[in-house]
Structure 1
Amino acid sequence: MLHELSIRDFAIIEQVHLTFSEGFHVLTGETGAGKSILFDALSLIVGGRGSADFVRHGAKKAEVEALFELTEDHRALIELKKLGLSLEDGCLVIRREVTQQGKSTCRINGQLVTLAMLRQAGEYLLDIHGQHEHQSLMRTEEHLSWLDAYGGPSLSEALNKYKKSFEKYQEVTRRLTTLDQSEKEIAQRIDLLTFQRDEIAAARLEAGEEEALFQEQNRLAHAEHLTHRSASAFELLYGEEQGGERLNRAVRDLEEVVRFDESLQEVLELVQSAYYQVEEAARQLGRYQDELEFDPVRLSEVNDRLTEIEQLKRKYGDTVEEIIAHGNEAATELEGLEHSDQVKQELMEQQASLLTILEEEAASLTQLRKKAAITLELRVEEELVDLNMKGTRIQVAFHDQVSNNGLRYTATGDDYVEFLIAPNPGEPPRPLAKIASGGELSRIMLALKTIFSDLDGINTLIFDEIDTGVSGRAAQAIAEKITRLGRNRQVLCVTHLPQVACMADIHFQISKETLEEKTRTRVKMLTEEGRVMELARMLGGVEVTKTTQTHALEMLQLAEKTKENM
């Protein structure tokens, strides 16, 4: 459940803090007061795209913060825990900031998250129905997704299985298309790959070779200097009357002292250790000098080899390892092209096999969809009875899918689904997009939202003018339907209809004021007296009269009785 919402410097909202509870909340106000802006802010909370246009004029950034109280088994918490976020006591604080430059940041319980992570959890927190979302019912291409969403786990599993087979089919088809290129292009590709493979193979590169060559190059190029310096060090350590001999004499002297005074035993051991270390260092220096030699021929060979590697790096990769990998890839592709006839035959067999699988899985998918369509039709018609559309028939019509490439199968199967409606008894069903009025679309969308709220587990439903295009008894039916939804879920609804507003459990009024040449949006929770005045305004317009106030009070009293009898 959404518990608190704080908004700062968002569009024309300077600062707003709202507290919500369970049940049906309504938000009313004059046109342009900023009602829909609240829903833009909530859209940000669940992963909507940020924009610099959201930042209030003169402010550096817009800020939106929401507090949710969720049960421990809530799907959003489960998804966030999968992402490694630490959550406590079922409380979820989401914060979005959008700067003047359009840069957006997201935080969940203080932890910085990506927009994708926020969306992954956000889809289980709020179900937002915008002013024009009912127009999606006019887009026939979206009807299939509605049906699939209703189909439940079995249909979802079948669809995922089909999609994997379709992806394999597409990949095999893509490879076949590549092989069907002109013989000239294939021949040119073979020549190029053969050259690359042979050039890299001829170089006989080894991983780590370049680093070893650089080290050898340094030794060879500075052999004379290295010889001189190492010899000098050797002489200082091991020469006559130098470090080693002096330490040796010190050891003998200390050994004689310790015979009579053991207090210097530790000093003796330290000097002995130093002597042994100097001797070992001298031996290693000696071996190093023996190995050093000035070899111009070998230096030239090393330089040539490094030049060769550098030339290959310019063509095939930044490292020796990348060059070797490129050679292996070229050899693999070349082998495939040189045996293209055999590969093509194998791919054609795979394609035919996958097509058979697609046919079977698509048929199974269609069967599950038709089964789901029957129950969806009944459910929608039942909901429409409550919405003053008794006798309306809904039909989910199935057509064969048609694609541009001649293949009837697409990523969603071979079904093309269209919602049909017969508003009046005795009339044949016709496309929803062609004959449904705005009021009918609003009620059908509300019916679908009611049905899907039982399936998706989202506890907070948000409607932004769901009642567009309705009035009279239809408006009352919508109000009662939303009220019933509010019994088991949290519902937030923006409306211009007093029939809807009077049924709410909590009523917020949104107003706009101008102070010091700045426009601000204000939001306040109305008392009973305030609700009467707001409903009177909605009934009578600008002028509130005693008659409209009386009518508003009667509406509230009737609404309470209606809710008691539900």
Structure 2
Amino acid sequence: MLQELTIKDFAIIQDLNLSFNRGMTVLTGETGAGKSIIIDAVGLLAGGRGSSEFIRHGATKCVLEALFSLDGNPGTYELLKTYGIDSDEDTVIIQRDIHRSGKSVCRINGRLVTIAILRLIGESIIDIHGQNEHQELMNPERHLSMLDQFGDKELFLLKKSYQETYTRYRQVKKAYDKWQNGEQELAQRLDMLQYQTNEIEMAELLDGEEEELLEEKNLLLNYQKIMSALSISYDVLQGDDVNGIDLIGNAMTEMSSLEDIDDKFKNLSEAISSSYFQLQEAASDILRELDQMAYDEDRLNEIEKRLEIIKQLKRKYGDSIGEIKSYYEKIAAELEQILNRENHLTNMTDELARLSEELVKRGSQLSKKRRKVAKDIEQSIHEQLKELYMEKVVFEVQFFKTVATFSSEGAHESGFDEVEFYIATNMGEPLKPLAKVASGGELSRMMLAMKTIFSKSQGITSIIFDEVDTGVSGRVAQAIANKIYMVAVHSQVLCITHLPQVAAMADNHLYISKSIENDRTKTHVNALETAEKIEEIARMLAGTEITKLTLEHAKELTVLAKTERQKQKQIS
């Protein structure tokens, strides 16, 4: 649910902080005060199209920020995980900055995201319905997924099983088509693989070889420097004339005669003695290195050639000998497949036939279950429409394919089905696509009936109705108010309304007003208490002049609404 909303320099709003509660919240107030602007701000946080025109006059950018609690919404959790966005605290903070240049910066829990990712995650949390914007319900391409959302665990498992088979089928089909239709490409591939495997085989690469060659090369390149340093060091330590080790030996002899006099002399003697023997060992090691040192120009040339071969192979096949060998194993296996193409094609043909049969089987099971679910939806929608005084309206989920016609060629990620919601709004009229039905109050009621059904299964935590009650009055207005509240039992609902019946049903009432300060319009939002709420409902009933009678009528509406709210909660 939406918990907090901050708006800065957006349209006529300079700085506004709002807190929202669970249940049904209505926004009422003066025309032009900013009711729809608040909803527009939420819409932008859900990934709506931004524009520099939204920025308040005189400002360089607008800043929108909202805090949502996820309420265990699995769809949102999955999206956050997919895009590596942290959600440990069961909340989501969405921020969007729109700059005068048109640049839009979006963050979710502090992480920068694209508009596309913002839209995906935003739409899983917020569902905005306006007079001319009905999102999924008005998009036939989304009807199949909505049908699935209404289904039970059995349908979910059938769809998951189908999709696993479909993924495997597509992989094998893609590989089969490549092998079946790419004769010239395969011939070229065969030549290249043979050349590459031969080149790597002839190199006879050994693990650790490059490091050893580089070490040997370094020694040969520095031969003169090494010989000079070793020779001088040996002469200093143990040359024929006076040398360092003999001198230290003399010192060791002298100091050993003092060991019994004092411990400090004994320590010095032991230190010199230790150094003497270490230097003797070092001199022996230096002599051994001198004996083994030999400069071989032919060996250096051989190393250079070998390293160049390794360098060329690394440039083509990997950054190390290990990677080159891994690449070799991969292409050797592919080469084996191409050389045994007929056997491989036969195996793939058999696998493809098996998967095709399994795909149709699983798709048929899924479709049959969907058709049962569709009947349940139709019945539920008709029950809702009766309560909205549309008892003569016929709603139907139409399937455009029969199960008997399913074949693997017509498969898609969600199955074989193509569905669309159809309605007939008057007796005797033919069914027509819901997306093309007449707009106005009739469409608003149709949408509310569906939203009442789907709000229980879609998992969306916040649903916004922006003046969807336009064009209705009387008993229909009360029926719409009841339906909106029924949705609010399962999801947080924010609703802009001009109907007193809808306002009376709300758990929370926000009044939007405006004032002129320093020749600029400023928006104010006040949460109304019971007495203030009754007065606002009276204003909605009577217009500008509130009479004692309208106040009594407003009180009566709130009492009836309280009873209706309790009734709806018990039903749900």
**TM-score normalised to structure 2 length:** 0.83
Structure 1 residues 386 and 554: CA distance shift in structure 2, 3 A: farther
> Which 5+ residue runs of structure 1 have no aligned equivalent?
none
Instruction: Give, in whole Å, the separation in 2 of the partners of 1:131 and 1:281.
Output: 93
> What is the CA distance between 1:44 and its match in structure 2?
6.0
Residue number in structure 2 paired with 1:491: 493
Call closer, same or farther: CA 1:198–1:36 in 2, change over 3 Å: farther
Structure-2 residue corresponding to 1:441: 443
Change (3 A) 1:518 1:299: farther
Deviations 1:100-145 (A, max 9, x none): 34233332xxx65867998898677544445544254343222111
Q: Alpha-carbon deviation of 1:474?
A: 2.8
Asked if the contact 1:129–1:462 (Cα under 8 Å) also holds between the matched residues in 2, the reply is yes
Deviations 1:318-341 (A, max 9, x none): 444443333333322222222111
| Contact 1:28-1:496 at 8 Å conserved across structures | yes
Using a 3 Å threshold, how does the CA distance of structure 1 residues 458 and 464 change in structure 2: closer, same or farther? same
Residue 196 of structure 1 corresponds to 196
Partner of 2:290: 289
SS of structure 1 residue aligned to 2:382: helix
1:103 pairs, out of 99, 102, 105, with: 105
Percentage of identical aligned residues: 40
Moved more, 442-451 or 171-180: 442-451
**Contact persistence 1:28–1:495 (CA under 8 A):** yes
Task: Report if the CA contact (8 A) 1:422-1:430 is conserved.
Answer: yes
**2:466 maps to which of 448, 464, 467:** 464
Superposed, 1:465-480 pairs within 5 Å as: 465-480=467-482
How far residue 12 of structure 1 moved from its aligned partner, in angstroms, is 4.2
CA contact (8 A) 1:61 1:97 kept: no
Counterparts of 2:547 and 2:282, CA distance in 1: 104
Deviation of 1:84 (Å) = 9.6
- The one-character-per-residue Cα deviations of 1:37-64 (angstroms, maximum 9, x if unpaired) are 433443566x637957466565565444
Indicate how the Cα distance of structure 1 residues 283 and 524 shifts in structure 2: closer, same or farther if over 3 A, else same. Answer: farther
Question: Structure 1, residues 147-166: CA drift from partner, whole Å, max 9, x if none?
Answer: 10101222112111101111
- DSSP-derived class of the 2:21 partner: coil
Unaligned runs of 5+ in 2: 565-572
> CA, structure 1 residues 469+157, in 2 after alignment: closer, same or farther (shift >3 Å)?
farther
| Equivalence map 1:128-207=2 (5 Å) | 128-129=128-129, 132-134=132-134, 136-207=136-207
The residue type equivalent to 1:96 in the other structure is Q
Between the aligned partners of 1:35 and 1:473, the Cα distance in structure 2 is: 25
Alignment pair present for 1:454 and 2:463 = no
Show the counterpart of 1:15: 15
Matching residue within 418, 421, 430 for 2:420: 418
TM-aligned CA deviation for residue 36 of structure 1: 3.7
Deviations 1:258-286 (A, max 9, x none): 12322333333333333343333333333
Aligned to 2:47: 48
Q: Secondary structure at the match of 1:388?
A: coil
Q: Which letter does structure 2 place at the counterpart of 1:559?
A: L
Equivalent residue number for residue 500 of structure 1? 502
Measured at CA, do residues 2 and 315 of structure 1 come closer, stay the same or move farther in structure 2, by a change above 3 Å? closer
Q: Does the CA contact (< 8 Å) of 1:27 and 1:493 recur in 2?
A: yes
Q: Secondary structure at the match of 2:276?
A: helix
Q: What letter corresponds to residue 455 of structure 2 in structure 1? A: S
Whether the aligned pair in 1 keeps the contact of 2:26 and 2:510 (CA below 8 Å) is: yes
CA distance, structure 1, for counterparts of residue 474 and residue 134 of structure 2: 20
Instruction: Report the Cα distance in structure 2 between the residues aligned to 1:132 and 1:262, rounded to whole angstroms.
Output: 101
Equivalent residue letter for 1:6: T
Q: How many Å separate the matches in 1 of 2:442 and 2:237?
A: 101
Q: CA deviation at 1:301?
A: 1.0
3-state DSSP of counterpart to 1:413: coil
2: distance between equivalents of 1:103 and 1:401? 47
**More displaced stretch, 226-235 vs 241-250:** 241-250
Q: Secondary structure at the match of 1:259?
A: coil
Residue type matched to 1:408 in 2?
A: G
Q: Deviations over 1:193-229 (max 9, x none)?
A: 2112211221222344333322222211121111111
SS at match of 1:446: helix
The 5-angstrom pairing of residues 517-556 of structure 1 reads 520-526=522-528, 545-546=544-545, 553=551, 556=554
In 1: Cα distance, 2:104 partner to 2:189 partner: 46
Structure 1 match to 2:384: 383
Secondary structure of residue in 2 paired with 1:461: strand
- Matched with 1:223 is 223
The 3 A distance-change label for structure 1 pair 235 and 42 is farther
The whole-number CA distance in structure 2 between the counterparts of 1:75 and 1:146 is 16
Measured after TM superposition, the shift of residue 76 of structure 1 is: 8.8
| Amino acid aligned to 1:553 | L
Counterpart of 2:560, as a letter, is T
Q: Distance in 1 between matches of 2:548 and 2:64?
A: 39
How far residue 78 of structure 1 moved from its aligned partner, in angstroms, is 7.6
The residue number in structure 2 matching 1:235 is: 235
1:251 and 1:99 map into 2 onto residues whose CA distance is 83
Superposition map of 1:198-277 within 5 A = 198-239=198-239, 241-277=242-278
* Distance in 1 of aligned mates of 2:81 and 2:195: 52
AA of the residue aligned to 2:195: F
Which residue in 1 is equivalent to 2:570? Answer: none
Q: Shift of residue 526 of structure 1?
A: 4.2
Is the 1:401–1:409 Cα contact (8 Å) retained in structure 2?
Answer: no
Q: 1:311 to 1:489 in 2, by over 3 A?
A: closer
Matched letter for residue 479 of structure 2: A
Which residue identity is paired with 1:293?
A
1:388–1:250: structure 2 CA closer, same or farther, 3 Å change rule?
Answer: farther
Q: CA deviation at 1:355?
A: 0.8
Deviation of 1:488 after TM superposition, in Å, equals 6.0
Q: What is the distance in 2 between the residues matched to 1:104 and 1:77?
A: 17
Q: Which amino acid aligns with 1:145?
A: S
Q: Distance in 1 between matches of 2:12 and 2:205?
A: 66
TM-score, scaled relative to structure 1: 0.84
Q: Which moved more, 1:145-154 or 1:460-469?
A: 460-469
Q: Kindly indicate whether the alpha-carbon contact (under 8 Å) linking 2:128 and 2:463 is maintained by their aligned counterparts in 1.
A: yes
Conservation of the 8 A alpha-carbon contact between 1:162 and 1:413? yes
Q: Distance in 1 between matches of 2:246 and 2:87?
A: 67
Q: Post-superposition shift, 1:350?
A: 0.6
Q: Is the 8 A contact 2:538 2:553 kept in 1?
A: no
CA deviation after TM superposition for structure 1 residue 433, in Å: 3.2
User: Cα distance, 1:357 vs. partner?
Assistant: 0.5
Show the counterpart of 2:569.
none
Q: Which moved more, 1:342-351 or 1:112-121?
A: 112-121
Alignment partners' CA distance in 2, 1:238 and 1:549: 120
**CA–CA distance in structure 1, aligned partners of residues 285 and 498 of structure 2:** 93
SS for the counterpart of 2:369 is helix
- 1:387 Cα shift? 2.1
The amino acid of 1:287's aligned partner reads: R
**Structure 1: how far apart are the matches of 2:137 and 2:124?**
22
Alignment partners' CA distance in 2, 1:293 and 1:401: 86
Give 1:300 deviation, angstroms.
0.8
Give the Å deviation of 1:317: 3.7
Asked if the contact 2:129–2:135 (Cα under 8 Å) also holds between the matched residues in 1, the reply is no
Q: 1:307 to 1:66 in 2, by over 3 A?
A: same
Distance 1:464 1:237, change over 3 A: farther
Deviates more, 1:245-254 or 1:372-381: 245-254
Q: Deviations over 1:420-439 (max 9, x none)?
A: 22334555544323445443
Q: How far is the alpha carbon of 1:175 from its aligned partner?
A: 0.7
- Which amino acid counterpart does residue 179 of structure 1 have in structure 2? W
Q: Residue type of the partner of 1:563? A: A
Is the CA contact 2:463–2:493 (under 8 Å) kept in the aligned structure 1? yes
| 1:188 partner letter | Q
**Alpha-carbon contact 1:51-1:98 (below 8 Å) kept:** no
Tell me which moved more, 248-257 or 503-512: 503-512
Cα 1:172–1:512 shift into 2, 3 Å: farther
Residue 471 of structure 2 corresponds to residue 481 of structure 1? no
Question: Contact 1:158–1:361 at 8 Å: present in 2 too?
Answer: yes
Aligned-partner Cα distance in 2 for 1:363–1:42: 41
